[in-house]
A = this chain, B = another copy of it.
Amino acid sequence: MTDEPTTPASGMRDFLPEQVARRNHVFDIIRDVYEGYGFEPLETPSMERLSTLLGKYGEDEKLIFRIMKRGQKLQRALDEDPSEDELADLALRYDLTVPLARIFAEHGNDFPRVFKRYQIGPVWRADRPQKGRYREFYQCDVDILGSESTLVEAEVISAAADALERLGFDDFRIHTNHRKLLDGMMEIAGIEQEMRSDALVAIDKLDKIGLKGVVDELDERGLSDDAVDTLMPMLDQGAEADSPPFDNQRTLQAIADQIEQTESGAHAVSDLESLFRVCEGSSAGRHLYFDPYLARGLSYYTGAIFEIRSDDFPGSLAAGGRYDDLVGMFTNQDVPACGFSLGVERIIDLMEERDMFDIDETPADVMVAVWDEDFAADSMAIARQMREAGLRADLYPDDDSGFGKQFGYADERDIPFVAIFAPDEKEAGCVAIRDMDSGEQTEVSREHAGEETARLILKARD
């Protein structure tokens, strides 16, 4: 033994075959749903120039993994200015949004006027690892660039709802609010512009600290009693969250009269009305839940905001919203945009916990046994016939083991059938297919071993 540890590095994970199969199952479904909505795949490199990422993530910039310069450039930095920023030239991407903005600046002219893209891939953050939080994890983003219509909001949440339903989630709510609605409310409550993001942070904590907690925190953050007394009743209009379909129009009407006095509020009400109407016949419709308390931490949202939750588990499965000022960061252009991100690692963890994976995890449909060295070429040819018939066929990887050992190997690997071609079968011109559960053997012809075995296995599965 060497002393080198063989676990993955901190916050990293090895995925064994069963886990890879499950992860791919999830990614394949999401990809299939998104492509069904006409989203197109984009892929950007794992590494970006460090300078591309700096200045984009505020406080979290310290979580960026920096890649050291190499060769002479490294030597120069070591000699002249050995500092964090000078020693590195590249960094691992922190999210998929800044790369999207970069690729949009580079290729925007090649894209259609309204561009719908999805990207599923790893990002890296030097966060403190803990349960459910990894340093390398997948993000799964859809974004529609170039349209201000609420139709695109409706599309991104419908696609997310379809994906979650296809994965087996059912009882989730798409919490929906609008940044400009919150703006309007705060205007009416007389909250100064510079206090508003503080207020949003407090409001966003409702599901963690409760109503009283929010009020206390608003107080602490220096809001006047008057402001809080005006704000809270407006926020507190959401329907009970336990019984879909939700009467979102009613909630909105209850707020609208007051809120429409502000320009922001009127804009938000009009957007939300339109969104609720458009979503009616969509996959999102049943799940849509207007929640005036939803604030979303991130500062870049400019319109509708969303978060998918369920009473069955804490936290959210997915989130997103409209962010019209971000994609143009490299071009100083205005690019209307709406994005949505499935929390795919959380989704996979939940599906594991809840035993929601119902997929075939056998590594092969059949294993072809090998009688001895002289029969090996025949076994190999039979395996080929099986594969040509669409079966996943494993060949026993040795030519000097008894069948007992070979059956044991098939059992160990959970392979349900073993194909046997030994002197008796050769004499009879057949192949014996052994059902490893029952021990029963059925003969198929040597010549058509592939098709006949495929038929046999299909029948056994029914």
Contact = CB atoms under 8 A, between A and B. Distances in A.
Nearest to A400: B149
Interface in A15-29: 15-17, 19-21, 23-24
Contact of A16 (B42, B384, B397): B42
A65 B67 contact: yes
B377 A277 contact: yes
Contacts of A4: 49, 51-52, 330
Contact of A47 (B9, B88, B107): B9
Nearest to A99: B14
A173 to B, nearest CB: 19
Interface string A420-455: 000000000000000000000000000000000000
Nearest to A276: B377
Given A149-B397, A282-B384, A68 B68 contact: yes
B377 A103 contact: no
A404 interface: no
Contact of A377 (B278, B380, B400): B278
Nearest to A368: B38
Nearest to A135: B47
A253 interface: no
Interface stretch (A110-118, A256-264, A287-295): A110-118
Interface in A335-373: 363-364, 367, 370, 373
Given A42-B15, A42-B17, A2 B332 contact: yes
A396 B113 CA distance: 11
Given A106-B6, A397-B114, A384 B283 contact: yes
A49 B155 contact: no
A233 interface: no
A394 B82 contact: no
Interface string A244-287: 00000000000000000000000000000010011111110000
Contacts of A279: 377, 380
A428 B295 CA distance: 44
A41 B27 CA distance: 15
Contacts of A62: 70-71
A403 interface: no
Interface in A134-189: 135-136, 144, 146-147, 149, 151-152, 154-155, 158, 162
Contact of A66 (B44, B67, B152, B370): B67
A77 B289 CA distance: 51
A443 to B, nearest CB: 20
Contacts of A43: 14-15, 19-20, 23
A198 interface: no
B70 A87 contact: no
Contacts of A103: 6, 14
A284 to B, nearest CB: 9
A147 B396 CA distance: 10
Given A38-B394, A78-B83, 9 more contacts: A2-B329, A6-B106, A16-B110, A37-B383, A46-B92, A68-B87, A116-B363, A152-B397, A282-B384
17 contacts: A6-B106, A14-B44, A35-B392, A36-B387, A37-B387, A46-B46, A46-B92, A46-B136, A65-B67, A74-B84, A112-B409, A146-B397, A149-B398, A151-B397, A155-B380, A281-B381, A283-B384
